[in-house]
Amino acid sequence: MSRKDREGPEMEAAASPTVPGLGREETPEEDADRPRTEPVPGAEAALDAPSSRYFASLDATVGDLQHRAQHLIDNVNSSRKEDHNVMSTFRESLLLKVSGLAERLEEQLFHLYGIHNELIQERLQELAEVMERVGEAEAELRQVCRTVEAAYRDLCLQPET
Please give the pLDDT value at position 107: 97
Least confident range of 32-36, 51-55, 126-130:
32-36
**Cβ neighbours of residue 51 under 8 Å, at least 6 residues apart?**
16, 18, 19
- Identify whether the C-beta of residue 40 lies closer than 8 Å to the C-beta of residue 49: no
Tens of pLDDT, residue by residue over 102-127, are: 999 999 999 999 999 999 999 999 99
Tens of pLDDT, residue by residue over 53-91, are: 767 777 778 888 999 999 999 999 999 999 999 999 999
Distances in whole angstroms, Cα of residue 122 to Cα of each of 14, 112, 135 = 102, 15, 20
Please give the pLDDT value at position 36: 47
- How many independent structural domains does the chain possess? 1
- The share of the chain scoring above pLDDT 90, in percent, equals 53
Structural domain that includes position 111:
3-157
Amino acid identity, position 70? Q
Burial (CB < 10 A; 0-12, 13-18, 19+), residue 23, is: buried
* Whole-prediction pTM: 0.41
